[in-house]
C-alpha cells in the first residue's frame, strides 16, 4: 500500500513536470533498504511510462516547442550516459548528499523565482 501511495503522488508530480524523483527517491531511501544508486535507478525506470503519458498529454495540449526539445533531448541523452557512469562510481553516501543539496538548491530557487512572462 505504501508503494502505491508513493507511486501515485510521484506520478502526479511527474505529470506536472516537476519531477517525481523529488518524492520517489527520498521515499525509497527512507522506507526501504535500497542504496541511493538503486533508488535513482528505480526512479529512472518508473519515469519512462510516466513521462510517456505526460508527453502525450502535453502534445495534445500543444505545449511542446520543437526548437527547444530537440537540442535538449539530444544533449540530454549524452548527459544521462555520463551522469549514470558517474553515479555508479560515487559512494552511495556522497551521492545522497549531492542529491540532497541539489533538491535544497532547487527548492530555494523555486521559492524566490519570479515569473518573467505571463501565462497564456
- pLDDT mean by block of 10 residues, the chain; 120 residues: 84 75 87 88 85 86 87 90 88 89 88 72
Residue 120 confidence (pLDDT)? 58
Q: Using an 8 Å Cβ cutoff, are 2 and 32 in contact?
A: no
Cβ count near 50 (within 10 Å): 19
Domain ranges, ordered by start, for the chain: 2-112
Give alpha helix (H) positions in the chain.
2-15, 21-31, 36-60, 66-89, 92-112
Q: Using an 8 Å Cβ cutoff, are 34 and 28 in contact?
A: yes
Residue 106 confidence (pLDDT)? 85
Residue 119 confidence (pLDDT)? 61
Q: Rounded distance, CA 53 to CA 14, Å?
A: 10
Residue 110 confidence (pLDDT)? 81
Amino acid at each position: 500500500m505504501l508503494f502505491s501511495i508513493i507511486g501515485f503522488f510521484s506520478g502526479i508530480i511527474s505529470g506536472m513536470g516537476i519531477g517525481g524523483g523529488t518524492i520517489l527517491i527520498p521515499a525509497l531511501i527512507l522506507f526501504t533498504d535500497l542504496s541511493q544508486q538503486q533508488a535513482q535507478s528505480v526512479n529512472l525506470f518508473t519515469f519512462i511510462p510516466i513521462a510517456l503519458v505526460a508527453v502525450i498529454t502535453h502534445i495534445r495540449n500543444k505545449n511542446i516547442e520543437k526548437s527547444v526539445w530537440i537540442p535538449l533531448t539530444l544533449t540530454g541523452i549524452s548527459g544521462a550516459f555520463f551522469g549514470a557512469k558517474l553515479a555508479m562510481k560515487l559512494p552511495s553516501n556522497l551521492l545522497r548528499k549531492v542529491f540532497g543539496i541539489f533538491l535544497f538548491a532547487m527548492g530555494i530557487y523555486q521559492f524566490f523565482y519570479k515569473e518573467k512572462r505571463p501565462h497564456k
